Amino acid sequence: MRNSPYTRMLGLISGVVMSFIAAIGMVENFNKRVLIEPFVTMGYVVVLAVPVLIGILAARGKPSPLEEPARDTGPNLASGLVAGLIGGLITSVFVALVDTFDMTEFFPSMRPAMVEEMTFGFGVPAGLLVLIAVSGVAGALGGLIFAQSDAIRQGITQAVAWVLGVALFEAVVADIFEIDFLLDLIYAKNGGLQPWAAVIIGALAWWLSARYRGTAKQFAFTVRDSEPKSRIRRSLIGIAILAVIVLPLLLGGIVNELLINVSFFILMGLGLNIVVGYAGLLDLGYVAFFAVGAYGTGVLTSSFSPTINPGLSWWFALPIVMGLAALAGLLVGTPVLRMRGDYLAIVTLGFGEIVRILLLSDWLTPYFGGAQGVRQIPGIPVPFLGEVSGTRPELFIYLTMIFVFVAGYIAYRSQNSRVGRSWAAMREDEDVAEATGISTVQAKLLAFITGAIVASFAGALFAAKVGVIFTNSFKVLTSIIILVVVIVGGMGSIPGVAVGAFVLIGILGGPTSQGLLFEFAEYKLLIYGALLVFMMLKRPEGLWPSVRRSRELHGDELSQDAWLDKAGEFKEDDAEVAT
């Protein structure tokens, strides 16, 4: 076993994490969801994924930039096994403690049901041994996986990913492929895949990955390296646009509704991307612009809004709302022009809260409805289709898509324009940018104003869709979640924002809406927090990064890699000289 202290530490981490997952009730709650009949339930998958991952890490050993990790079945398996066993031991001690002492007064989830689940139904003490053994096996499995060749590991990853995907997203699969008899065949009555279906899907994924991995990778490279206006890019974009146009008609109401929610976050993410990603201004009160858009639309279009109710059509209200948002952006941006990054974050957060408190206040209730909000906001009038609102999501989504495209276009063009370049310069070093003649004042204000206008699109659409707005939807939480979407997706990257929104809001759920995996609702904010920290530590450029950002953030590593390459060359030279 290489690096024993490291393996032991990994085991410790594994034990703590597994205990934590059990302590918050995840195992118990998730086990209600069956993934593969009859044994593979979501709770066990989540909790046992930990020792498997730890096993992989243990087999890899402590990462060192100079050595390649050795893939040797024997030692790898052993490391994984040890780490897994240690983790299992710690967890079983925890479970035993929970079983002995009744702590439900303080920790409601640490109760007998949890012990039941964690001991696989065998109870204490037999179940504890089972737990340790299972954990050890899982760790060994991780080590074993690590020892395999690249091809096999890709195959395993693909197989697991596809099986899990088809099992978890049963609702979407059913919505898309409405072939009843096929669905009944694959899925069991109470949810989850039939075991043989899982095997077939896994094998298929493995085979496909082995067969077509090379081609797929080559294709990806071709696309990435292609010229911006090349044929291949154009046709891809064309296909994407066509798909996006046709898809809502095929999908049912549920998925369309979800996509609309995702689109709101794409919109707001694009806007925040301009402020944070391009201009480097950490605005934590971004939701205030969203509120301006929503309340502006509500007050101007609803005939039930108190005091001010011109009852305009949504389209007439929109430019007014955009103007209000621009003004808000100006008001927020001007005082913070000279503030340091951290202060800017807190002050903008403060502004966001001030706006929300004022909208909720009894003082301004005559204008904004206070606690009762603004209701009876009419939908968006469309010729021939009447008023489109949330009651017809398959139509409403087209409206949101139009604005998403507009916002995307604004973001794209501004990024590559003069303003975009001054933002980049400002982000790198503000003083130098000033010295080269860039007006940081203008650049910052423009960022705030553009971001505010884009957010107001989302707000206006939101108001028309839901028909009634309360200040609950405009809390700090939402600002932070938009930030998480932007960061996880990729700061400064437009496709990144879309990826972030789909993955986070679509799958886990937003602050006030549910995602595909609604079981995660209770834990989604926990996962957001952990994800943000993880991304910042390991991959700050996000899932779909902008190339520039990658270079900025990994500058050190890239130069280090270059140095290492050089060092390798010298080593070879030395070896040659020696002979």
Partner 1 sequence: MKKTSMRLVAALGALALVAAACGGGTDFEEGALGSVTVEAGEDIQIRSLQALSAGVEFLGVPNQRAVELAITDFGAIEGHSVTIGTGLDDICSAEGGAQAAQTIVSDEAVVGVIGTSCSGAAQAAMPLISDAGLVMISSSNTSSVLTSALDGVAQSDWHEGYYRTAHNDAFQGAAAATFVSENLGLTRVALIHDGDPYTNGLTKAFEKNFTEMGGTITVHTAVAPDDVDMGPVLAEVAASDPELLFFPIFPPAGIPLLQQSASVDGMENVVMMGADGLSVEDFMGLPESEGMYFSGPNTQFGPENKNEATGKTGEEFLAAYEAAYGEAPSADFWAHSYDATTMLLTAIAEVGVVDGDKLHIDRLALREALSATSGFGGIIGSITCDEFGDCGVPIISVFQHNNLDDILASKTNIQFTYDPTG
Partner 2 sequence: MTSTATKLPPSGRRFRFNWVDGFLWFVRIAALITIVVGITGSVQNFMAGEGLSATQWRDLLISSTSTGLMYGMIALGYSMVYGVLGFINFAHGEVFMAGSMVGFIGATLLFDSGFWDSNPFAAVFIVLVISMITSTIVAVLVERIAYRPLRNAPRLIPLITSIGVSFFLQYAFAGLFGFSTRSYPPAPGALGEEIIIFGIPIQGTKLLVFVVAIASMIGLWYFVSRTKAGRAMRAVAEDKEIAGLMGIDVDKTIVLTFAVGGAMAGVAGLLWALLFRVVDNLMGFLPGLKAFTAAVLGGIGNLPGAMLGGVLLGLFEGVGPLLVLDGLGIPAVSQLKDAVAFAALFLVLIFRPSGLLGERLGSEDRA
- Give me the residues that bind partner 2 (CB under 8 A), please: 20, 23-26, 105-109, 280, 282, 284, 334-335, 337-343, 345-347, 349-351, 353-354, 357-358, 360-363, 441, 476, 480, 483-484, 487, 522-523, 525-526, 528-533, 536-537, 540, 552-553, 556
CB of 51 to partner 1, least distance (A): 28
Return the one option of partner 2, partner 1, none that residue 107 interacts with (CB less than 5 to 8 A, by type).
partner 2
**HEC profile of 416-483:** CCHHHHHHHHHHHCHHHHHHCCCCHHHHHHHHHHHHHHHHHHHHHHHHHHHCCECHHHHCHHHHHHHH
- Cα separation of 356 and 349, whole Å? 11
**Cβ count within 10 A of residue 220:** 10
CB of 173 to partner 1, least distance (A): 15
**Cβ count within 10 A of residue 529:** 12
Rg (CA), the chain: 27
The residue range among 5-13, 82-90, 115-123, 371-379 that interacts with partner 1, by the rule CB under 8 A, is 371-379
- Cα separation of 397 and 261, whole Å? 9
CB of 360 to partner 1, least distance (A): 5
- Cα separation of 33 and 20, whole Å? 20
DSSP 387: E
By CB under 8 A, tell whether 381 contacts partner 1. no
- Cα separation of 369 and 470, whole Å? 9
The residue range among 207-215, 277-285, 366-374, 412-420 that interacts with partner 1, by the rule CB under 8 A, is 366-374
Six-digit token string for 9: 């530490």
CB of 353 to partner 2, least distance (A): 6
By beta-carbon proximity to partner 1, the closer residue of 230 and 372 is 372
**Site for partner 1 (CB under 8 A): which residue of 222, 230, 334, 376?**
376
Return the one option of partner 2, partner 1, none that residue 306 interacts with (CB less than 5 to 8 A, by type).
none
Place of tokens 């091809």: 151
CB of 108 to partner 2, least distance (A): 4
Q: Which residues pair with 41 in a beta bridge?
A: 34
Which of 67, 198, 217 lies closest to 154 in space, CA to CA? 217
* Interface of this chain with partner 1, residues 493 to 552, rule: CB under 8 A: 512-514, 518, 521-522
Return the one option of partner 1, partner 2, none that residue 112 interacts with (CB less than 5 to 8 A, by type).
none
| Per-residue contact string for residues 246-285; x = within reach of partner 1 by CB under 8 A | ------xxx-xxx--x------------------------
| Per-residue contact string for residues 464-493; x = within reach of partner 1 by CB under 8 A | -xxxxxxxxx--------------------
By beta-carbon proximity to partner 1, the closer residue of 426 and 516 is 516
CB of 295 to partner 2, least distance (A): 16
Residue pair 22/47 in contact (Cβ under 8 Å)? The answer is yes
**Site for partner 1 (CB under 8 A): which residue of 53, 134, 360, 424?**
360
Return the one option of partner 2, partner 1, none that residue 441 interacts with (CB less than 5 to 8 A, by type).
partner 2
Q: Would you list the DSSP string of 155-199? A: HHHHHHHHHHHHHHTHHHHHHH---HHHHHHHB-TTSSB-HHHHH
By CB under 8 A, tell whether 378 contacts partner 1. no
By beta-carbon proximity to partner 1, the closer residue of 316 and 518 is 518
- Cα separation of 231 and 252, whole Å? 33
By beta-carbon proximity to partner 1, the closer residue of 256 and 414 is 256
Residue pair 387/380 in contact (Cβ under 8 Å)? The answer is yes
Return the one option of partner 2, partner 1, none that residue 339 interacts with (CB less than 5 to 8 A, by type).
partner 2
Number of chain residues interacting with partner 1 (CB under 8 A): 38
CB of 182 to partner 1, least distance (A): 20
| Alpha-carbon distances of 91 from 55, 118, 138, rounded to whole Å | 16, 9, 14
CB of 526 to partner 1, least distance (A): 11
CB of 295 to partner 1, least distance (A): 13
For residue 144, the one-letter residue type is L
By beta-carbon proximity to partner 1, the closer residue of 278 and 368 is 368
* Interface of this chain with partner 1, residues 432 to 471, rule: CB under 8 A: 462, 465-471
Which of 300, 304, 307, 305 lies closest to 321 in space, CA to CA? 300
By beta-carbon proximity to partner 1, the closer residue of 6 and 528 is 528
CB of 440 to partner 1, least distance (A): 37
Three-class SS of residue 298?
helix
Return the one option of partner 2, partner 1, none that residue 480 interacts with (CB less than 5 to 8 A, by type).
partner 2
Provide the CB-side half-sphere exposure for 477 (13 A, CA): 13
By CB under 8 A, tell whether 170 contacts partner 1. no
Place of tokens 């103007």: 323
Which of 392, 371, 367 lies closest to 382 in space, CA to CA? 392
**Cβ count within 10 A of residue 232:** 12
Return the one option of partner 2, partner 1, none that residue 282 interacts with (CB less than 5 to 8 A, by type).
partner 2
Sign of torsion, CA 436 442 448 452? negative
Q: Which residues are near partner 1 by CB under 8 A?
A: 252-254, 256-258, 261, 304, 357, 360-362, 370-373, 375-376, 389-391, 393, 462, 465-473, 512-514, 518, 521-522
